Structure 1
Amino acid sequence: MSVRQNSSPLTRQVTLTVLTLATFALAIVVGFGFYAASQADDASLVRQKMFIADGLKDQIASVQREQESVSVWDDAIINVRAGNQTWIEENLSVWMFTYYGHNRVYILDAANHAIHAMREGKVVDASAYGEDQPALLPIIEKLRRMLAGPPQADAYGQPAKMVAEDLVSLDGKPAILSVMPLVPSSDRITQARGTECLHVSVEFINDAVIGKIAGKYLLDGARLVPLSQPAGPAAVPLVDSRGVILGYIGWDQLRPGLALVREIAPALAIALLLAGGALVFLLRRLRRASAALQTSQDQAQYLAFHDTLTGLPNRALFEDRLRRTLLFASKDKTRIALLYLDLDRFKHINDTLGHPAGDELVRQTAARLKHAIREVDTVARLGGDEFAVILLDVPDVGSAEDIAERLLLKLREPFRLIDDQVFVSASVGIALSSGSDTDADELLRKADIALYEAKKNGRGRYELFAGDMDDLLLRKRKVESELRKALEGEGGIKLAYQPVFAADGRGILGAEALIRWGHEVHGALPAAQFIAIAEERGLVRPLRSVKPLVLIGDLGKWALGEACRFAAGTELPWIAVNISPMQLRDIGFAGQVADILSETGLNPCRLQLETTESVLLEHNDTIGTVIAALRQSGICIVLDDFGTGYSSLSYLRRQAIDKLKIDRSFVHLLDEDESARAIVKTLIELAQALNVEVTAEGVETDAQKALLVGMGCRQLQGYLLSPPLEPGQLLALPGVSSMDQERSAARA
C-alpha cells in the first residue's frame, strides 16, 4: 500500500515533467513554425511586389513599342501634314485601340494643338483633348524639351529614342501615358527640328491590363484599388513622376507560410498526444516550405544569368562557364574552341521590318544554334545579335571549322519573320585554347579579332585566329603610336597642296591639301596607308577587347587647322581638305570647324570639305545635322571618288552637297575604254542636272584633258597639270601668292 502511495506522486511528477517537456518542445516547434511561416509570407510578398512592379514597367515599355510601330513612319508624317483624317483614324488612332487596346489617342501639331482625337475606338472632336490637356501637357512639354536639345545616343552609339512617358490620372482613373514624335523612317522625308507632330497614346490601367500583368506571375485576384479604398499589404502604388499616388494594384496575397499552418493545424492538435509524430510531420511540412522557397530562389537566379529573350545563358554566365571550362580543360589536357558569332547587317532587319521582327530573328537564331551543337557545349547570347559558342574537347582545328561551317549553313536557311521570308548570313571568329595558361579574356579577345577579320574579308564566313593577326595588330599599334607622336610635334607629318585648274589648264581655281608622312624607318608612307590604320584602330568596327582610340580625330583636326592657316595667308580662291566619315558622326564637329576658321581668320566660303560617298548610305541623323550646319555656315561639301560606291541619288537631289569629284579610276581609262567615257559623261551630266560643280581628278594625258573639257568638265586636277606641291612651290605658281608678297608688292 505504501509502495503504491509512494509511486503515485512520482508517476504524476514524471508525467508532469514529460508533459511539460513535450509541451515546451511542442511550443518551441510550433513557435518556430509560425515564425518560419511569417518569414515565408513576408519574403513571398516582397517577390510578388517586385513581380507586379516589373510587370508594370514591361507594360509601359510595351505601350512604347506599340506606339513606335506607327510613329516612325514616312506615311504618318505625310498624311498628318495633309490632314488626312481617314488615314489617321485607320492607322494612328482607331487601329491602336483595335489592335493594341490603347484607350485614347491624340495627334498634336508642332504648336501642341490637337488635330485628331480618339476615345475608346471612336473618333471624337479634337476639342476633347482640352479635357485631358492639364494632365498630359507636362509630359508633352518634357518631350518638346528633349526634341529641342542636342541629339542623344544610346549605349550602342545609335540615336536615342525620343519618348516621354508617365502615369497620369484621367477622369479619376490611372493610365499609362506615352508621347512620341512622328519621325520619318527613311531619308525621303525631311523634317526640321521643332516642327514634329506628336502621337499621344493613353492606356488606362484597368482590371484587364492588371490581369495581364498579374497573369504572367500566376497571381490571382489582381484588381485596381482606388485611393478611396484601403489597399492592404498586397498592393503596389501607382506613382507618377511627381511622386503622387494615383491608385494601387492589389491582388490576393500568396501566403505559403499561412497556408502551411492551416494545413498542419489538425496535426498540431494530435501532436499534443503524439508529440513525436507531430514533430516529424511538422519537419516534413517545413521541408516542403523550404523547397518552395528554394524554387523561387532558383528561378530568380536563373533569370539573373539567362537572356530573357532567348533563354540562353547571358554574358555573366557565359564568362563564368568559359573560365570554368578552361580550368577543367587544363586539368584534363584537352582543348576548347570559342566561336564568336554575329549576324550580318542585323540593323537592316530592324530598320526595315521593325524591332519585333529583329527580336524574332534573334530567337530563331538562338534556337538554331542550340540545336546545332552538342548538349555538353554552351551557346550564349552576349547582347544584340552577338552569340558565343563554347565547344568542349575539340580534337583539332578542323573540327572547330566544321562546326563553324555547319552553323553558317544553318543560318543561311531562310527565316520566317512576320509572314516574310528573310535570308540572313553570319560571320564567325574562332579561337582555340593553347594550353593550361590560356586566359579567358585573351581567348575572347582572339575570337573577337578573328570575327573582325571575317567581317572585313566579306562577311558570311568564318575566320580562325592566327598569330599573324596579333602581329598585324601590334604593327598597326606601333604605327599608330608613332603617328600620334608625330602629331604631338615630333615632326614627319606635313601637308602638300595639289592645285585644281580651270578648263584652259592655266587658271588656278583652288588647291587640295594632302597629308604626307616622312617616316624615319618606313620612308614616305602614302596617306591612304597610315590614314587607314588610324581609322581602323577601333573606328571601322571597334573590337570589344580593344579600347577605341581617337587618333583619326586628332589627325583630321591637325590637317584642317594647318590647311586653313596656310590658305588664310594666300590669295587662293579656296582650299579643299579631306575629312573622315568618323568626324561627321561627331555632333560637335561643325563647332570644331567654326573654331578653326575663327582662329585662322579664313572665310568659310573659301573652305571645301571632301568626304566619301559612303556617308550617304548610313541614314545617320547626326551626319545629316552636321552637314547641314557646315553648309549653312558657307562651307562647301564635296563628294570625293564619286562613282565608285553606292550613292543615294535622293540625297544628292536634296542638294546636301556642293561638288562631285570623278574618281581617277574612270579618268585613267578615258582614252582607252568607251564604257569609261560613257560613265564619265553621265556623271558630268548628272552633276549639271543637280546644279553642282564637278572636278575630274587624276588627269594625266592631254587626251584625257581634251575629252573632259569636251564633256563639259570645268575643273581639272592631276599630274598633267601639276603634282602635289610644297607650300613654297605652290606660291611660286602664276596667279598664286601669299598675303605677305601682296603687301610687299603694294609697299614697293
Structure 2
Amino acid sequence: MSRRLQRSPLTFQVTLTVMALAIFALAMVVGFGFYATVQADSVSLERQKILFANGMRDRMAAVDREQESIAVWDDSVINAKAGNVDWMIDNISVWMYSYYGHDRVYVLDAADRPVHAMREGNVLAPARYSEDEPVLLPTVERVRRLIREPAKEDLAGGPVKLAAGDLVELDGKPAILSIMPLVPSSDRVIQTPGSEYLHISVDFITDALLAKIAGQYLLAGARLLPLSQPVGGAAIPLVDSHGVILAYAGWDQERPGSALVREAGPALIGGALLAAGVLAFLLRRLRRASSALQTSQAEAQYLAFHDTLTGLPNRALFEDRLRRALLTASHETAKVALLYLDLDRFKHVNDTLGHPAGDELVRQTAARLQQAIREVDTVARLGGDEFAMILIDVDDIRGAEDVSEGLLQKLQEPFKLADDQVFVSASIGIALSTGPDADADDLLRKADIALYEAKKNGRGRYQVFAGDMDDLLLRKRQVESELRHALNGGTGIKLAYQPILRRTAARSSVPRR
C-alpha cells in the first residue's frame, strides 16, 4: 500500500509541480544568461565594427595627409614641370613607397598625360598608367572639376581642399586612392590656374594594413575577405563612392559575454550541481511529506467509508452504492436485491464469551459473507451484528433466495472463537427493487420489515418482503402510538368485561366474573 501511495496522484502532482518550477527557474536563468551573453557579444561586435570603420577612415585620411606632404611644395611644382625624373623618384614616388608604404604613384601633366609612374617601388614607363587609367579616371575628373570650380568653403566652414579620394579595385584587389594637384607652398612660385600637375597615390588594402588598423583597437586576426568567401559577423564591407562592395575587412570577433561564461563556467557548473543537490534533497523531503499527507488522507477517507472492525463498507458507503445500483438498474431490465442480515442471539455470545469473542464473531461472519457473494456485489456492516448485501443484475426474487440459502448454510458452520466452537444462525430479510422509481430508503425499510418477519417466524431463515407486511407493520405502529397516547392521557383506557358464553340447547350463557 505504501508503494502505491508513493505513486499517488497527489505525490506525483507535487513532484511534477516542483520539477516544473525548478526546470522553469533553470530555463529562466539559462535563458537570461544566454540573452545577456548574446547581447554583450552583440554590443561588443557593433563597437568593433565602428572602431574598424573609423580605423579605415583614419587610414584614408592618413594617405591624404601623407600625399599632401609632397603635393603642397614649391619644389614638387618646379621639378615635375621641368621633367626632373631623378628628383621625382627620390621625392615623389619611390620615397612615398619606402617611407609611407604607398604602392603606386602616378604624376599627370595639365592635360592628364602621365609623366611619371611607379609601382611597388619600381619606376616604370609613364605609358603603364594606361593600365590603371579606366579605374582612376573618374576621380581624376573630380579633381579637375574642383580645380576649375573651387568652392569657397567646405561643410565645416574651412577652406576647400583640392583633393579627391575613393576606394577602388586594381588588379582584383581593393585599394585606397588619393589624388591632389601639385601646388606651391609659397608665393615664390606662381602657377597659372588650370596648369596644375596631378599626383596620384594608391595604397592597397592588404592583410598587413588591416592588421595594423586592428592593432590600434586591440583586435586580432584582421584579414581581407574576398566577395566569394562567406562573411561572418565580425566584418565590414569596403564600399566605393558608388556603393559597390569591393571586399570585406574581417577580424576575430571579441566575445566578452562568451569569455565571461567560459571563465565563470566551472563556478556556474558547481553552483548548478549544488543547487541540484539541494533541490533533490528538498524534493525528497517534500515527497516524504506529500506521501505522509496522502497516506493520512487515504486512511481518513478509508475510515470515513469503511468499518474499522471488519474492513467492510460502512453505512455511508453502503447507501451510496445502493443509490448508484438503483440508478443503473433504472436504465436496464435487471433488478437490485437488498439482503438485510442479523445474527441470532448475538448478545448471548457477548454475555458468555465476552466482547472480544463477539468482535471476532463479527469479523469471521464478514469474511464468510464476502466469500459467499460475487465481486460485483456489495456486503456492508451497518452496525453491531447487522449486515446488508446489495445484489445487482438480479432477474427475479429466486436469485436473491438462492443467495440467501447459501448464506444461511455458510453461517451454520461452526465458528472457532478462542478455544470454543460456537454455532450461530442468522435471519435475512429480502427486498427487491420494483421499477425505475425505486428508492434506496424505501428498499432498506422493506428489507428491515422482512428481517423482522424472519425473526418473528422462527429465526435462522430468510423472508421476502410482501405488501401485506407493510400494512401489518403500519397497523402495529398505529396501535402502539394510540396506546402510548392513551397512557399519557390517563383516560384513554377503561376496563371492559368480556362475557363467556356456553353454547347449550336449553339455556343461554351466563356472564362469569
- Report what 1:51 is aligned to: 51
Give the alignment's TM-score, normalised by structure 2. 0.51
**1:211 CA displacement:** 0.8
**1:262 CA displacement:** 3.9
Residue 163 of structure 2 is aligned to residue 129 of structure 1: no
**1:122 CA displacement:** 1.5
Which protein is bigger by CA-based radius of gyration? Answer: 2
- Report what 1:27 is aligned to: 27
- Report what 1:257 is aligned to: 257
**1:164 CA displacement:** 0.4
**1:261 CA displacement:** 3.8
Q: Is the 8 A contact 1:168 1:240 kept in 2?
A: yes
- Report what 2:36 is aligned to: 36
Q: Structure 2 vs 1, CA of residues 12 and 51 (structure 1 numbering), >3 Å: closer, same or farther?
A: same
Count of residue pairs the alignment pairs up? 278
- Report what 2:244 is aligned to: 244
Q: Is the 8 A contact 2:106 2:200 kept in 1?
A: yes
Mapped to 2, the partners of 1:77 and 1:104 lie a distance apart of: 20
Q: Structure 2 vs 1, CA of residues 228 and 156 (structure 1 numbering), >3 Å: closer, same or farther?
A: closer
Q: Structure 2 vs 1, CA of residues 157 and 43 (structure 1 numbering), >3 Å: closer, same or farther?
A: closer
Residue 63 of structure 2 is aligned to residue 63 of structure 1: yes
Q: Is the 8 A contact 2:63 2:178 kept in 1?
A: yes
Q: Is the 8 A contact 1:152 1:159 kept in 2?
A: yes
* Cα shift readout 1:522-543 (whole Å, capped 9, x = no counterpart): xxxxxxxxxxxxxxxxxxxxxx
Mapped to 1, the partners of 2:269 and 2:14 lie a distance apart of: 22
- Report what 1:229 is aligned to: 229
User: Partner letter of residue 237 of structure 1?
Assistant: P
Q: Is the 8 A contact 2:150 2:160 kept in 1?
A: no
Q: Structure 2 vs 1, CA of residues 155 and 229 (structure 1 numbering), >3 Å: closer, same or farther?
A: closer
Mapped to 2, the partners of 1:87 and 1:54 lie a distance apart of: 35
- Report what 2:93 is aligned to: 93
* Cα shift readout 1:571-616 (whole Å, capped 9, x = no counterpart): xxxxxxxxxxxxxxxxxxxxxxxxxxxxxxxxxxxxxxxxxxxxxx
Mapped to 2, the partners of 1:21 and 1:137 lie a distance apart of: 70
Mapped to 2, the partners of 1:278 and 1:99 lie a distance apart of: 68
Mapped to 1, the partners of 2:74 and 2:108 lie a distance apart of: 17
Q: Matched residue of 2:243: which SS?
A: coil
- Report what 1:162 is aligned to: 162
User: Partner letter of residue 232 of structure 1?
Assistant: G
> How does 1:500-511 map onto structure 2 within 5 Å?
none
Mapped to 2, the partners of 1:138 and 1:203 lie a distance apart of: 17
User: Partner letter of residue 58 of structure 2?
Assistant: D
Mapped to 1, the partners of 2:267 and 2:278 lie a distance apart of: 6
Mapped to 1, the partners of 2:272 and 2:5 lie a distance apart of: 28
Q: Matched residue of 1:199: which SS?
A: strand
Q: Matched residue of 2:135: which SS?
A: helix
**1:15 CA displacement:** 4.4
**1:121 CA displacement:** 1.1
> How does 1:13-24 map onto structure 2 within 5 Å?
14-24=14-24
User: Partner letter of residue 166 of structure 1?
Assistant: D
Q: Matched residue of 2:145: which SS?
A: helix
Q: Structure 2 vs 1, CA of residues 13 and 41 (structure 1 numbering), >3 Å: closer, same or farther?
A: same
**1:18 CA displacement:** 2.9
User: Partner letter of residue 242 of structure 2?
Assistant: R
- Report what 1:193 is aligned to: 193
Mapped to 2, the partners of 1:18 and 1:264 lie a distance apart of: 27
Mapped to 2, the partners of 1:40 and 1:101 lie a distance apart of: 37
- Report what 1:113 is aligned to: 113
User: Partner letter of residue 54 of structure 2?
Assistant: D
**1:7 CA displacement:** 6.2
> How does 1:263-342 map onto structure 2 within 5 Å?
263-266=263-266, 269-275=269-275
Mapped to 2, the partners of 1:227 and 1:190 lie a distance apart of: 48
Mapped to 2, the partners of 1:169 and 1:8 lie a distance apart of: 75
* Cα shift readout 1:243-300 (whole Å, capped 9, x = no counterpart): 1111010111112223334445555555554338999xxxxxxxxxxxxxxxxxxxxx
Mapped to 2, the partners of 1:267 and 1:278 lie a distance apart of: 16
- Report what 1:76 is aligned to: 76
Mapped to 2, the partners of 1:93 and 1:278 lie a distance apart of: 75
**1:87 CA displacement:** 0.5
**1:108 CA displacement:** 0.5
Q: Structure 2 vs 1, CA of residues 267 and 11 (structure 1 numbering), >3 Å: closer, same or farther?
A: farther
- Report what 2:348 is aligned to: none
**1:151 CA displacement:** 4.3
- Report what 1:215 is aligned to: 215
* Cα shift readout 1:421-442 (whole Å, capped 9, x = no counterpart): xxxxxxxxxxxxxxxxxxxxxx
Mapped to 2, the partners of 1:148 and 1:278 lie a distance apart of: 82
> How does 1:355-434 map onto structure 2 within 5 Å?
none
Q: Matched residue of 1:218: which SS?
A: coil
Residue 145 of structure 2 is aligned to residue 145 of structure 1: yes
The alignment's C-alpha RMSD in Å is: 2.5
- Report what 2:204 is aligned to: 204
Mapped to 1, the partners of 2:41 and 2:133 lie a distance apart of: 43
**1:150 CA displacement:** 3.5
Q: Matched residue of 2:116: which SS?
A: strand
Q: Is the 8 A contact 1:34 1:261 kept in 2?
A: no
Mapped to 1, the partners of 2:72 and 2:201 lie a distance apart of: 14
Q: Is the 8 A contact 1:110 1:196 kept in 2?
A: yes
User: Partner letter of residue 72 of structure 2?
Assistant: V
Percent identity over paired residues: 62
Q: Structure 2 vs 1, CA of residues 157 and 218 (structure 1 numbering), >3 Å: closer, same or farther?
A: closer
Mapped to 1, the partners of 2:127 and 2:115 lie a distance apart of: 9
Mapped to 1, the partners of 2:226 and 2:155 lie a distance apart of: 39
* Cα shift readout 1:123-143 (whole Å, capped 9, x = no counterpart): 111111111100000000000
Mapped to 1, the partners of 2:231 and 2:277 lie a distance apart of: 41
* Cα shift readout 1:279-328 (whole Å, capped 9, x = no counterpart): 9xxxxxxxxxxxxxxxxxxxxxxxxxxxxxxxxxxxxxxxxxxxxxxxxx
Q: Matched residue of 1:251: which SS?
A: strand
Mapped to 1, the partners of 2:14 and 2:103 lie a distance apart of: 75
Q: Matched residue of 2:220: which SS?
A: coil
Q: Matched residue of 1:222: which SS?
A: strand
**1:233 CA displacement:** 1.7
User: Partner letter of residue 132 of structure 1?
Assistant: D
Mapped to 1, the partners of 2:150 and 2:101 lie a distance apart of: 34
- Unaligned 5+ residue runs, structure 1? 280-748
Q: Matched residue of 1:260: which SS?
A: helix
